[in-house]
Amino acid sequence: MIDHVSLPVRDLAASAAFYERLLAPLDYRKLVERPATVGFGKPGAHVALRAASEEAVRAFHAAALAGGGASDGEPGPGYF
Q: Are residues 59 and 73 in the same domain?
A: yes
Q: Are residues 40 and 52 in the same domain?
A: no
Read off the pLDDT of residues 5-47 as tens digits, 9 standing for 90 and up: 788 999 999 999 999 999 999 989 998 899 999 989 887 665 6
Looking at per-residue confidence, does 49 or 58 come out higher? 58
Nearest to 60 by CA among 44, 74, 72, 45: 74
Q: Are residues 52 and 38 in the same domain?
A: no
pTM (two decimals) = 0.53
- State how many domains the chain has: 2
Identify the H or E element spanning 31: strand 29-33
Q: Are residues 33 and 59 in the same domain?
A: no
Q: Are residues 26 and 53 in the same domain?
A: no
Domain residue limits at 65? 48-80
Q: Are residues 3 and 37 in the same domain?
A: yes
Distance of CA 18 to the CA centre of its chain: 20
